[in-house]
Amino acid sequence: MPCFCALHKINGKMKTKSIENLFIEVLSGTASSLEKKEVTSWINQSKENRKTFEQFKMFWKSSGKAYNSHEFDMEWAKEKIISKLNQKRSGIRNIHLRIAAAASVILLVGLSFLIYFQSNQSFRNGMIYSATNQVKEILLPDSSHVWLNKNSTLKIEANFGIKHRKAVLEGEAYFEVKRDETKPFEVLTGNTLTRVLGTSFNIFLDKRRNVTLTVNSGKVEFNKKYKLLNRQIYTAGDIGLFQEGTGKVTKEKNRNLNYIAWKTGILNFQNTPLDEVCNTLSKHYGKVITTSIPESDFSLTATYSNETLENIIATICITLDIETTAEGNTIVLYQ
């Protein structure tokens, strides 16, 4: 059977997509209306075409429908599948064999995914914790403690603490995990997976889907969620940084004294440059705080416990003998 390809014009150039690629996009719900029409037209051309599609659909469903989960990385799976197909094309012309090869890759991807997370049904039958306007403390079924920052959500699967300890985090949270060597504690955050036995750590997922892991005690495994081998180990004082744009994970030492100030309410500055003080206050209070003073001119040593922003700004101005002005949501410190 000849290979079917769809042509699309992008920026004046023609782009070709294979039928296997189009099948994947239609079944995963990512296909455009034009691509759906092209697949439908191809299926209706012959009984053989319809049978081919039904076989592919059967293999797709047999993967456990993990691909409908919002945690599944569609681009990653497609790259794996298309890479496998390209290896086969040089010596195999029969589309049925190519589909079988694609199906085997789909099943492998599905199995790797299911090692860590079950389908969405598990989370629908589990628990969802949300923090909106204030920090929320949670006691999980396994007696682990979690503090959710504002505008954050934590989901735990059904049977959490009985068969496994798996959760999904959106936003920021601080974890104090009760040790259980038989059931590791796993947190999926963006495109990262954090795995521990019993320790304390902070995870922050920003708006760009970058992830920052800060370890307070114990040992933590942290890496991209589909990288099953060579996971990096982080200990107290380490920071793991995942960049969504590059897909890279790096390690460095923690120099941020205020990484859990959102939880404790305590801000600690030790000879901290004024511009860094402004950045910390901006994040903590949700306002834009800047300074026109050169970085090397002033630094601050002070500790504030559950103080209002107005009181902190006032004491900074008195301590450093500087001025402040406010307009709307912006505060500027100047000489």
Alpha carbon distance 149, 204 (integer Å): 9
Q: How confident is the model at residue 97 (pLDDT cuts 50, 70, 90)?
A: low
- Asked whether residue 163 falls in the same domain as residue 241, the answer is yes
Per-residue pLDDT tens digits for 171-199: 999 999 999 999 999 999 999 999 998 89
- Asked whether residue 140 falls in the same domain as residue 31, the answer is no
- Asked whether residue 133 falls in the same domain as residue 235, the answer is yes
Q: How confident is the model at residue 109 (pLDDT cuts 50, 70, 90)?
A: low
Q: How confident is the model at residue 235 (pLDDT cuts 50, 70, 90)?
A: very high
- Asked whether residue 203 falls in the same domain as residue 244, the answer is yes
Instruction: Return the SS3 of 283.
Output: helix
130: phi > 0 → left, psi -120 to 50 → alpha, else beta; which?
beta
The pLDDT value recorded for residue 159 is 85
Rounded to an integer, the average pLDDT of 134-160 is 93
Q: Looking at 61, 96, 116, which one is the last position of a domain?
A: 116
Per-residue pLDDT tens digits for 23-58: 877 887 777 888 888 888 888 888 888 888 887 777
The pLDDT value recorded for residue 125 is 64
The pLDDT value recorded for residue 42 is 87
- Asked whether residue 201 falls in the same domain as residue 222, the answer is yes
Determine, yes or no, domain membership for 258. no
The pLDDT value recorded for residue 102 is 58
- Asked whether residue 246 falls in the same domain as residue 139, the answer is yes
Per-residue pLDDT tens digits for 62-89: 544 333 333 444 445 545 555 555 554 5
Instruction: Return the SS3 of 210.
Output: coil
Alpha carbon distance 262, 275 (integer Å): 19
Q: Looking at 62, 91, 116, which one is the last position of a domain?
A: 116
| Of 173, 244, 262, the residue nearest 214 (C-alpha) | 173
Handedness of CA 277, 281, 284, 286 (dihedral sign): negative
DSSP 241: E
- Asked whether residue 132 falls in the same domain as residue 242, the answer is yes
Tokens of 3: 């290979």
- Asked whether residue 15 falls in the same domain as residue 98, the answer is yes
Domain count, the chain: 3
- Asked whether residue 240 falls in the same domain as residue 129, the answer is yes
Q: What angle do CA 159, 163, 167 make, to 5 degrees?
A: 60
Q: Looking at 81, 116, 151, which one is the last position of a domain?
A: 116
Per-residue pLDDT tens digits for 133-144: 899 999 999 999
- Asked whether residue 112 falls in the same domain as residue 163, the answer is no
CATH number (domain holding residue 208): 2.60.120.1440
Alpha carbon distance 293, 283 (integer Å): 20
Whether 168 has a pLDDT exceeding 50, the answer reads: yes
CATH number (domain holding residue 288): 3.55.50.30
The pLDDT value recorded for residue 203 is 98
Rounded to an integer, the average pLDDT of 255-284 is 94
Alpha carbon distance 249, 222 (integer Å): 9
Number of neighbours of residue 301 by Cβ within 10 angstroms: 10
Whether 60 has a pLDDT exceeding 90, the answer reads: no
Determine, yes or no, domain membership for 19. yes
Query: Which residue type, as a one-letter code, is found at position 109?
Result: V
Report yes or no: 257 and 268 within 8 Å, Cβ to Cβ.
yes
- Asked whether residue 13 falls in the same domain as residue 135, the answer is no
Determine, yes or no, domain membership for 259. no
The pLDDT value recorded for residue 206 is 93
DSSP 67: G
Greater pLDDT, 118 or 123: 123
Greater pLDDT, 72 or 242: 242
The lowest-confidence range among 75-79, 114-118, 219-223 is 114-118
Binning the chain into helix, strand and coil, the percentages to the nearest 5 are 35, 35, 35
The pLDDT value recorded for residue 297 is 76
- Asked whether residue 51 falls in the same domain as residue 23, the answer is yes
Task: Please give the residue range of the domain that contains residue 306.
Answer: 265-334
